[in-house]
Chain A
């Protein structure tokens, strides 16, 4: 895989899928702006990855519209352009439909859906120049309903998939492609924390619900993200790519409502 000279911004890249994806793209020669809410933590992540000459750090909360603008402008300035925007930052959710509060709803929708729209908007001038691409990281939960204690999360991710569809139409005349990635259960810190919070329920569920009987790894997601940054992926636009080990194909909801 060759990403030499590709300029990438990936939000939420201090850990999890974002961090593994940044590593995969750096290893393929890309220059990557890593992002997190806490810029010190981003600098630590860059040091851990070991590609200091190819990495820059940006900070900010993607739930905040003004910080969305600032972090994109900061990344574009430091990289000197942008070829690939990966809107990956997101937050988890443990709330049933009858228990979700307004504050929680707003936070999940703003971080997990509105951010995709605003980050793409602010990246437009740079992406028009490069005829680049956008990847919105959604979730298999946004395709197929499962256990409903991630009510707000799953709904926000369905919105993110819709944005990939509509923005692909809007931005095609500018040569910009927009896709969504829908990971299933991946062994990210977010999922592992949820697993602990539910006494191992996530792992038990994944083992019986996926065709491959296991959780996915961050690297298995990262390789897909990195592929979508390559010129070989140039014919993908407006689609949601599902990377879930056979979770959604059987429409198995796991036996709990």
Chain B
């Protein structure tokens, strides 16, 4: 066994909305010599339902000729505050992204059991803490993905399938909460006060942890939540 991340010829499926993070993860696996496919489970479910997700995952696995790594990425989706949010906002930021992630994973699991593969979930620290108003629905969905990581890790351990989750830090200034307001003073918060490393998270900050968790270098890690957040979750 070498002490380097070896993903050569690994069969990788990335399930998530096409965005900068997914592109970065895709390129990183490709650079390591993996065979990579990507799909958007939310879009697939909107068009063809849960059966459509199952068919799409099966089709991607067939094209890859198997599966070693599944990456499931869930976006941060800003919605109106509690007063103005309704069921349609819950559907958009909770029901659809979470359900499509769960059923994409379910569809890929039998193949991963055979290959003794790995699942890497991708969420945000806001799923583990009091996020700003407007992010409560998406935070709940991400909290669910984080807990699914633990539940699946236990379920799949007999087959040595590892399931872990990377939580990125703030991607945008808009995710940072306003300070508690009261009287005539309003605390102002920013990356300078909320992120020990003093800046927002970039996709490149996250992708190395994803590769590590997909590789044999993390062979005894399962059910873990890893924060790639410049120290944000550590303190207050």
Contact = CB atoms under 8 A, between A and B. Distances in A.
Interface of A: 65, 96-98, 100, 102, 105-106, 109, 113-114, 117-118, 120-121, 124, 142, 144-146, 148, 151, 154-156, 158-163, 165-173, 238, 253, 257
Contact of B144 (A159, A168, A173): A159
A161 B143 contact: yes
A97 B83 contact: no
A97 B130 contact: no
B151 A169 contact: no
Contact of A102 (B50, B143, B155): B50
B82 A171 contact: yes
Given A98-B106, A155-B151, A165-B139, A120 B82 contact: yes
A161 B136 CA distance: 11
Contact of B155 (A97, A144, A167, A169): A97
A124 B102 CA distance: 32
B94 A166 contact: no
A97 B151 contact: yes
**Which one of B139, B146, B177 has the greatest number of beta carbons of chain A within 10 Å?**
B139
Contact of A170 (B129, B133, B143, B144): B133
Contacts of A169: 130-133, 177
Nearest to B223: A145
B82 A124 contact: yes
A163 B136 contact: yes
B224 to A, nearest CB: 12
Interface string B113-141: 00000000000001111111101110111
B144 A114 contact: no
A103 B85 CA distance: 24
B199 interface: no
A117 B99 contact: no
Contact of A165 (B110, B130, B158): B130
A106 B127 contact: no
B6 interface: no
Contact of B99 (A65, A106, A253): A106
B47 to A, nearest CB: 15
Given A145-B154, A159-B141, 16 more contacts: A65-B86, A97-B109, A97-B155, A98-B109, A113-B94, A114-B90, A117-B82, A124-B82, A159-B144, A161-B143, A162-B127, A163-B139, A165-B131, A165-B139, A168-B130, A173-B181
Name the prevailing secondary structure of the A interface residues. Answer: helix
Contacts of B82: 117, 120-121, 124, 167, 170-171
B83 A124 contact: yes
A106 B87 CA distance: 13
Nearest to A145: B150
A154 B151 contact: yes
B174 to A, nearest CB: 15
A158 B223 CA distance: 15
B235 interface: no
Given A65-B87, A166-B136, A166-B139, A97 B152 contact: yes
B147 A158 contact: yes
**Which one of B130, B135, B155 has the greatest number of beta carbons of chain A within 10 Å?**
B130
Contact of B147 (A102, A120, A142): A142
Given A154-B147, A158-B146, A170-B133, A257 B154 contact: yes
B147 A117 contact: no
B193 interface: no
B156 to A, nearest CB: 8
10 A-B pairs with the lowest CB-CB distances in the bound complex, closest first: A162-B143, A158-B147, A166-B136, A145-B150, A170-B133, A169-B130, A159-B140, A148-B155, A165-B130, A162-B140
Given A97-B152, A121-B85, A166-B136, A155 B147 contact: yes
Contacts of B109: 97-98
A150 B129 CA distance: 24
